Each structure stands twice: as C-alpha cells, then as structure tokens.
Amino acid sequence: MASKAIYFRCLAVGVVASLLPVAGMAAPLSLVLEAHHFTPDHIVVPAGSRFKLLVTSHDTTPDEFESPDLRVEKILLPGQTISVMAGPLSPGRYKFYDDYHPEAAHGIVEAK
C-alpha cells in the first residue's frame, strides 16, 4: 500500500515536472497530508527566489491547502497531488494549513 502510494507520488511528480520545465528554479519540494497532518511540517526554502511545492493528500476527505502568507488557496482531493508556486519570500516564517482542518493540519515554510 505504502509502495503504491509512493509510486503514484513519483508518477505525479514526474508528470508535473515533465510538463512544467521551469528554468532556474530549485527542484520542487514534496509534502504529504495524511490523517490531517503535514509531513514534513517544516520546510526550508531559499529566500528571494520562486519555489514549487507538490502537495499530496492521503486523507480520505477533501482538504484545502491554504496560506494567505504564500497567497495560496487550492483544493486538494484524496489521492491527488497539487502543485503550488510561491515566493519570492523575504527571510522569515510563513504559515500554511489545511483550511478544512486548520487545528490539526498546519505547517511552516521558512525562508532563509
């Protein structure tokens, strides 16, 4: 089951990466949302440059990846992976959360 999930994640990453060749940008960072928790829940990105997050849901119900700090609001259905572009950020800590379960599912993007 876990290997299947990883396979799909790699497939999703591969498909998105091949369709969106972005020059001069770091490799996308992957996040998994499972049981209403983000893994990892602390991501470090370089300050001052654009970056991409790939968020995959292993939850059983719809989630909404949201962050006013990162200017993101995107619905994430079970089993799907969404790509989120953000930045450039000035150094600091930026909150993100699942707006449908904000108490449990939240994390931090740290720009250094």
Binding site for other proteins (CB under 8 A): 16, 19-20, 22, 50, 60-64, 68-69, 71, 74-75, 77, 80-83, 85-88, 99-100, 102-103
CA 38/CA 15 separation, integer angstroms: 22
φ, ψ of residue 105 to 5 degrees: the values are -100, 100
The DSSP-derived string for 38-76 is EESSEEEE-TTS-EEEEEEE--SS-EEEEETTTTEEEEE
Q: Which is nearer to other proteins, 71 or 112 (CB)?
A: 71
Of residues 31 and 86, the one with the C-beta less far from other proteins = 86
- Shortest Å, Cβ 55 to other proteins: 11
Helix and strand numbers (H, E) in the chain are 1, 9
Shortest CB 86 distance to other proteins, Å: 8
Q: How far is the CB of 27 from other proteins (least distance, A)?
A: 16
50 vs 110, beta carbon nearer other proteins = 50
Tell the smallest beta-carbon distance from residue 84 to other proteins (Å). 9
Residues 54, 70, 51, 39, CA torsion sign: negative
Whether omega for the bond prior to residue 88 falls within 30 degrees of 0, making it cis, is yes
User: In this complex, which beta carbon is closest to other proteins, that of residue 1 or of residue 19?
Assistant: 19
